[in-house]
Amino acid sequence: MSTYSPRRQEALDFLLTRRSHPCVTMTEPGPGESDLRDILTVAARVPDHGKLAPWRFVIYREAKREIIGRKLLEICEAENGPLDEARKEQELSRFSRAPLVIGVISTAAIHPKIPVWEQELSAGAVCMNLVSAASAAGYASQWLSEWYCFHETAARYLGCGEDERFAGFIHIGTPTQAPFERPRPDLADICTDWSET
């Protein structure tokens, strides 16, 4: 007797139509505590060779968003000089474009059996599960990696420890418009059958 679960067409239909929403089109409300717990629980259900859980979450809530924006502006101007008003506003609003932002941090490290690359892939799977779970819970979501993902001072300020790095930031809120569909790869262009050469 097969131990596989039956076909779940509803889940397939959802995945076939899931789309990211630009975070600037999101509004309140974001997920409440119950929804957030479900979303994070789903996010953590990913392939994880060795059960290392080589990732963790940092949750940026509403009260902290303006503080973060001011710090990012300060870091940016310290390196680039005074910014024009449009760029200042861009930096100030990085974490206030959506009601909730979740940082996914890769904690991948040298291991005697599990390659670092596999651990990093697991963190990427966490990000994908996060956006899918948020969408399934009825919210808009977008996975972003912007300059502060890769900037040591900014990443430390945002919660990265030594030898850690951000896999990205997941912005979550309520959609204000339908998402735009975008072209997808043609399977004929990205699939081949293996054959011995």
Residue 83 has pLDDT above 90, yes or no: yes
Q: 182 lies in a domain?
A: no
Task: Catalogue the E-assigned strands of 4-137.
Answer: 26-27, 55-60, 100-106
pLDDT value of position 2: 62
Q: 85 lies in a domain?
A: no
Average pLDDT over residues 71-96: 97
Q: 197 lies in a domain?
A: no
Q: 143 lies in a domain?
A: yes
Average pLDDT over residues 45-58: 97
Strands 55-60 and 100-106: antiparallel
Q: 148 lies in a domain?
A: yes
- More confident: 109 or 1: 109
Full-model pTM: 0.94
| Residue 28's CATH number | 3.40.109.10
pLDDT band, very low/low/confident/very high, at 56 (cuts 50, 70, 90): very high
pLDDT value of position 88: 97
What H or E segment, with its residue span, contains residue 77? helix 65-80
Q: 119 lies in a domain?
A: yes
Task: Calculate the average pLDDT of the chain.
Answer: 95
Q: What is the pLDDT of residues 154-186, one digit of tens each?
A: 999 999 999 999 999 999 999 999 988 889 999
CB 47 within 8 A of CB 118: no
Handedness of CA 173, 174, 177, 181 (dihedral sign): positive
Q: 196 lies in a domain?
A: no
- How far apart (Å, rounded) are the C-alpha atoms in residues 36 and 147? 26
pLDDT value of position 15: 94
pLDDT value of position 133: 98
Q: 18 lies in a domain?
A: no
Residue 5 has pLDDT above 90, yes or no: no
Domains held by the chain: number: 1
Looking only at Cα atoms, what is the longest distance across the chain?
68
Q: What is the pLDDT of residues 111-161, one digit of tens each?
A: 999 999 999 999 999 999 999 999 999 999 999 999 999 999 999 999 999
| Domain boundaries, position 165 | 24-62+99-176
- How far apart (Å, rounded) are the C-alpha atoms in residues 193 and 197? 12
